[in-house]
Structure 1
């Protein structure tokens, strides 16, 4: 097998065959099962052998995911935080007070790099009514006691963003337009933006707009990752124009004036876009033991129901897409959060119980992709 597998040309999709990700005919869960996949992307080079391990089953719309001290922590959108330890799912916080309606609820999760704190993105009921989003810090030494750092970000039953990222002593938070398009072009409203704050929740001193806002003109960004020192995001378009963006301070990414690239110098073009939409819901950069995947960019798709792999031919803030492919198409249903673990292995969580999928007996699941 050629371990340096080349990707298919842009726009080509390779459905990896042979991975029994959906339930068996008897409907029983495949807890602890590992399946292998070996496919052909159309280039004539054989695919790397990849085993797909199931780490957990029967979760309820897992959303945020992060490792701490070797244990995997997950948020469930309904309002629960769990820990996966020694193959068992243990509740950590049983009932976080969130508004789990539509796409909202308990969303992103990140840990402080040095102190015993966790951060979550929550949709909630504000005292004055309606729906809002907030950033909450939890004290791990005090039974995950909650301290809201930012409150009152406009929320709705759709387009709440939700992703968190800690990078370079700062915390990034994605905020959707909360179902009101005009918010995307209003730098005075935190919806439709990506925020950057200190680890104490204050506006970052290097922000361009003297507020928590880092960039704006976003519809519903749900992926954040650092690649070559730059922050990359994935974003949901309406029916066209899903995007991969490199985020820059003060950048205006066009929504709702444009989706995808444009000739308008006011707006920052995406690295690439997808039409019709596939609903990219996360972002990760691979640095694990599968040699053929080294340095590649991955995200899960909801509408597309596949794991998406991208190879860039540039770095930092000026990448170009060399090629990309679709992996495990239809095998696991809706894939939301894709992330890497402490050993570099790629992980994914399914989102088949979110009201838009067709859950199988094991759903929702945590998957891990390892060399076969």
Structure 2
């Protein structure tokens, strides 16, 4: 479909949110904004459910869930791959995460596809010297219309991949199933040699993790809970994070507790650590929320047993609707893409949008 695409530069005043309500009407409890008045600048409009975001040579690339890969260039949004072969856009699945190899002309995507026994997910490598030619590296990750995970993150000479429980909660406690887990593989798709279980599984007991970011050398994730207990976790190899037996903190020593959790749920859909020009945000943890429709900022402190939450803030509360992926650009500025055309939002004519936040 030939859809209108253009770039716009719009001065949008920041709305620093205070305590409000989630989609189900339950009160939320995060404090009022304290970070001043950053400005939101809409860089691109009319995107189609953007999901993955990654930079190569200073240029931003986005995946769109129905199967398109685009490049955001000066003055335009250019299709790179009009339709990635074999992608099955069903429910929450489709063309999801995106990452680039740190040195080689290679990209990686996470895709939902139609396997012999139904929906599944896979990690695919693309050769950038051959028109993004695909090669499946890891297939058969359980898939469903919901809880497909989807994030791909390059870190420490590895690829980390988030896999949801594919709507079968008990799979998250089965280390022999690549569901309800965070996976770690080599750039060739093999289980990383330092993994704890001689498989791609790095950690397990996850419901639907969608955000990955590194802070002070530790790998953090954000995860969707059911009606309660969205989580921020620090991921360690071999740890069991409890789902479905534990929701949020637990007294069971088998399970690793989250750094914090959110009830009722706000649907955290990404993660990044800020290192840009806004001094008050330095080192803080950001994620987009789908259900609560804001950007969430967390300031961590150091506790006796690890990081603790020192302060939290809702930014641009309700201003742009559902926020999927937040990330930082080469200039250090915070960016976000909306997800209002995913069937659960209330899109405006400009949706979906790419937004940059500046002082």
TM-score, normalised with respect to structure 1: 0.89
Say whether the 8 Å CA contact 1:215–1:249 is kept in structure 2: yes
Structure 2 portions without partners, runs of 5+: 1-5, 20-30
Say whether the 8 Å CA contact 1:40–1:47 is kept in structure 2: no
Compared CA separation, residues 297 and 180, structure 1 to 2 (3 A)? same
Tell me, yes or no, if structure 1 residue 205 matches structure 2 residue 193. Answer: yes
Structure 1 portions without partners, runs of 5+: 1-28
Q: Distance in 2 between matches of 1:198 and 1:61?
A: 29
For residue 138 of structure 1, what is the aligned residue in structure 2? Answer: 126
Tell me, yes or no, if structure 1 residue 179 matches structure 2 residue 167. Answer: yes
Say whether the 8 Å CA contact 1:64–1:76 is kept in structure 2: yes
Of stretches 306-315 and 200-209 in structure 1, the one that deviates more from structure 2 is: 306-315
Q: Distance in 2 between matches of 1:136 and 1:208?
A: 23
SS of residue in 2 equivalent to 1:141: helix
Compared CA separation, residues 38 and 179, structure 1 to 2 (3 A)? closer
For residue 90 of structure 1, what is the aligned residue in structure 2? Answer: 78
Q: How many residues align?
A: 342
1:71-220 to 2 correspondence within 5 Å?
71-96=59-84, 97-126=86-115, 128-220=116-208
Shift of 1:30: 9.3
For residue 317 of structure 2, what is the aligned residue in structure 1? Answer: 329
Say whether the 8 Å CA contact 1:228–1:316 is kept in structure 2: no
For residue 10 of structure 2, what is the aligned residue in structure 1? Answer: 33
Q: Distance in 1 between matches of 2:34 and 2:209?
A: 34
Q: Distance in 1 between matches of 2:134 and 2:303?
A: 38
Shift of 1:314: 2.2
Q: Distance in 1 between matches of 2:196 and 2:90?
A: 33
1:336-347 to 2 correspondence within 5 Å?
336-347=324-335
Aligned counterpart for 1:349 among listed residues 337, 340, 343: 337
Q: Distance in 1 between matches of 2:170 and 2:33?
A: 47
For residue 347 of structure 2, what is the aligned residue in structure 1? Answer: 359
For residue 289 of structure 2, what is the aligned residue in structure 1? Answer: 301
Compared CA separation, residues 178 and 86, structure 1 to 2 (3 A)? same
SS of residue in 2 equivalent to 1:184: helix
Shift of 1:315: 8.5
Q: Distance in 2 between matches of 1:316 and 1:111?
A: 36
SS of residue in 1 equivalent to 2:96: strand
Q: Deviations over 1:236-266 (max 9, x none)?
A: 0000000000000001000000110000000
Q: Distance in 2 between matches of 1:102 and 1:252?
A: 27
Compared CA separation, residues 289 and 316, structure 1 to 2 (3 A)? farther
Shift of 1:339: 0.4
Q: Distance in 2 between matches of 1:364 and 1:238?
A: 26
Q: Deviations over 1:312-338 (max 9, x none)?
A: 012998210001011111100000000
Q: Deviations over 1:144-185 (max 9, x none)?
A: 000100001110000000001100100000000000011010
Say whether the 8 Å CA contact 1:230–1:317 is kept in structure 2: no
Tell me, yes or no, if structure 1 residue 50 matches structure 2 residue 50. Answer: no
Shift of 1:36: 2.7
Shift of 1:70: 1.3
Q: Deviations over 1:37-80 (max 9, x none)?
A: 27587999964221111111000100000011111100000000
Q: Distance in 2 between matches of 1:338 and 1:117?
A: 23
Cα RMSD of the aligned pairs, angstroms, is 1.8
Aligned counterpart for 2:222 among listed residues 224, 234, 251: 234
